[in-house]
Structures are given as C-alpha cells and as structure tokens.
Amino acid sequence: MSACKKYYLPKRLQYDQLLFSEQDPENNAKILLDFYNKRLKLLEYNSLNLAGLDNLLLKTAMKHNLEKVLITASVDDWENFLSQGYVLECLNKFYFSGKPGFHMSKFLSASRRQSSNPAEADRILQMVLQKSVTIPHALPEGYTVRPCRDEDIPAMVQLFTRVFSTYPSPVYDPAYLFQTTHTNSYYLLLINDRKQIVSIISAEINKRYSNAEVTDCSTLPEYRGKGFMSALLAALEKEIKKRGITNLYSIARATSPGINTVLRRHDYTYGGRFIKNCNISGGFEDMNLWFKQLNHWQY
C-alpha cells in the first residue's frame, strides 16, 4: 500500500525551509524540508504503518536532494524505526512531556554519515564531563539581563553576524527575529554598562510536548569566559519554569568547549551526538545533545 497519497499545500516558513503535512490517515506526518541544512525532519507523526512512513520520508528527501532524515520516536516506536534502518543518534529522556524521545536518523549520502572531527569532539566531551556543577557568579556592576524588545533586533542581528559565519536558522534576518520573538521563542539579552548587547540566549518553546530548546547562545568574543552565558542560562531557566515547561535541551557544537562547559556546569545530561547535523560556522558540524528536567517544586 502506498503511504504517499496527497499533500497539503506547502507553507513557507523561512527562506530555506518548507513545512508540509501528509494527509494519509495512516501517517499523519508533519514534515520540515530544511534545505539550508540539507535535511528532512519529521516533526509529528501518528503512524500505523512505519514502513510506509519511512518510504514517504525517503522519497521526499531524495526528491529534494536532502542528505539526512531525522525523526524523534517515542518509546513505543523506536525499535520499529531501528528495524527500518534508522540509527539512534541521541536520547532525551524527557522530550515528550516527560517521556523519552529517541532521536534517530537515516543518512542518504556517505559523506554526511562521516563525523566531522570525532577525536576532538570526544576529547572535549571527556574534559567537560569532568567539570562539576556550579552556581553562576553574580554579574559585575552595571551589567543587566532583560528580555529582548523589538528595537533590539538590529543590534542582535549585528551580534549574530559577528559571532557566526553560517547558522542553521536565519538569525541575520530582522524579519525572522521579529517573527520568532513574537511567536514561540523567548530571548534574553545581557547588556553591559554602556547599554550594548554582549550576550544572547533564547528558548524555542514547544508547548505540545512541554519542552524548550535552548539555542542561539552567543557572546561577543571580547566578553567570553566571564560567566555571561552561564548567567543568561540561569535567568532563562527561571523564566521557562514559570511557563510550565518541564524539559530543556540544547544542541551544542561538539567541538566548542565553551557551550558544552556551560551546559555541564548547569547540570544538563549528555544525550549523544548528532553527526553532521547542521550548517554552522562555515560547515556541517557534529552537535551534542544535552537535556535537563526542570524541578518545579524548587520554585
């Protein structure tokens, strides 16, 4: 039986992404075509026929020359996806409203399957895992943390442009930042004593599964290593807890000691590595998953 019947009209999300839903009641698949990162993401599914769903995903990915298919399987399905040839890249124990999410992939090109710098990523992971969990330092006098406002967007674009030569989402585009800050993302800024933005962090909130991705972490080069990202993450966690989100996770460049250290210091658990996951800082890089379950009773 063909799983590939009709599609809804595609909806344009950003410059390089296309979202569509597949109408077959057997699959109920919501699919993101991510051209910029050359990958297909299955965002939602409700499938009785995983072989048919897999067939649909592969056909769609190949048609658009995408190199990687990513799915997040539930505890009931992940072994069936294994049988369909998917490999388990990462595990977030609390992704689906407190239940585990199994991040699994199929690679459609040999080069995409090859880790970018595994020895260096392993070295950094071991170094970071030896660090203890710590409480962030107080901010220096004159420095403040606050949510972003519309008028901050040009300065945010400037900071992102300085920090990243390429980035998986179009944070260089003021229209994208305007749209995302007014929908599902919450941005916090760290401001110095001259009212300049020196660090940015955001949480992309998924209310359906009560989780949020900590992302867009960036500090201007001359302000790094002073505990600013750590302070921002602590402030972000407090805000996210108030919104009833239970699971936070972050997908961090595997060869960046800074961001992996910040997550480890805040008691995130390492959940595995996505191979050549996205186009960041000039190429396709391996990304580490870190996750944390928020303890609401502490607040």
Ligand X SMILES: CC(C)(COP(=O)(O)OP(=O)(O)OC[C@H]1O[C@@H](n2cnc3c(N)ncnc32)[C@H](O)[C@@H]1OP(=O)(O)O)[C@@H](O)C(=O)NCCC(=O)NCCS
Binding interface with ligand X (CB under 6 A): 163, 199, 217-219, 224-230, 252-253, 256-259, 261-262, 265
Smallest distance from ligand X to CB 11, Å? 27
4, two tokens: 């590939």
Q: How far is the CB of 114 from ligand X (least distance, A)?
A: 20
How many Å separate Cα 290 from the centre of its chain? 10
Strand ranges in 173-262 using DSSP code E only, listed in sequence order: 185-191, 197-206, 211-219, 247-253
In whole angstroms, how close is the CB of 137 to ligand X at the nearest point?
9
Cβ(239)–Cβ(246) below 8 Å: no
Of 211 and 219, the one with the shorter C-beta distance to ligand X is: 219
Question: How far apart are alpha carbons 162 and 221 in whole angstroms?
Answer: 9
Least separation, in Å, of the C-beta of 253 and ligand X? 4
Residue among 33 and 252 whose Cβ is closer to ligand X: 252
Nearer to ligand X (CB atom), residue 90 or residue 217: 217
Tokens of 60: 């769609």
Pairing of strands 87-96, 68-73: unpaired
Q: Which residue has the tokens 């790094």?
A: 224
Residue 61 to residue 67: CA distance in whole angstroms: 7
CA-based R_g, the chain, Å: 19
72 vs 256 by CB, closer to ligand X: 256
Minimum gap (Å) between residue 160 Cβ and ligand X: 9
Counting Cβ atoms within 10 Å, is residue 245 exposed (0-12), middle (13-18) or buried (19+)?
buried
Least distance (Å) between residue 252 CB and ligand X: 4
Q: Do residues 243 and 205 touch, judged by C-beta distance below 8 A?
A: yes
CA distance 85 to 81: 7
- By beta-carbon proximity to ligand X, the closer residue of 86 and 167 is 167
> Is 55:4 a contact under the CB 8 Å cutoff?
yes
CB nearer to ligand X: give 40 or 217. Answer: 217
Measured from the CB of residue 35, what is the shortest distance to ligand X in angstroms? 21
Q: Of 5 and 224, which CB lies nearer to ligand X in the complex structure?
A: 224
Question: At its nearest, how many Å lie between ligand X and the CB of residue 99?
Answer: 26
143: region left, alpha or beta (phi > 0 left; psi from -120 to 50 alpha): beta
User: How many alpha carbons fall within 13 Å on the CB side of residue 239?
Assistant: 20
User: Nearer to ligand X by C-beta: 74 or 173?
Assistant: 173
Cα–Cα separations (whole angstroms), residue 274 to 16, 116, 180: 21, 11, 24
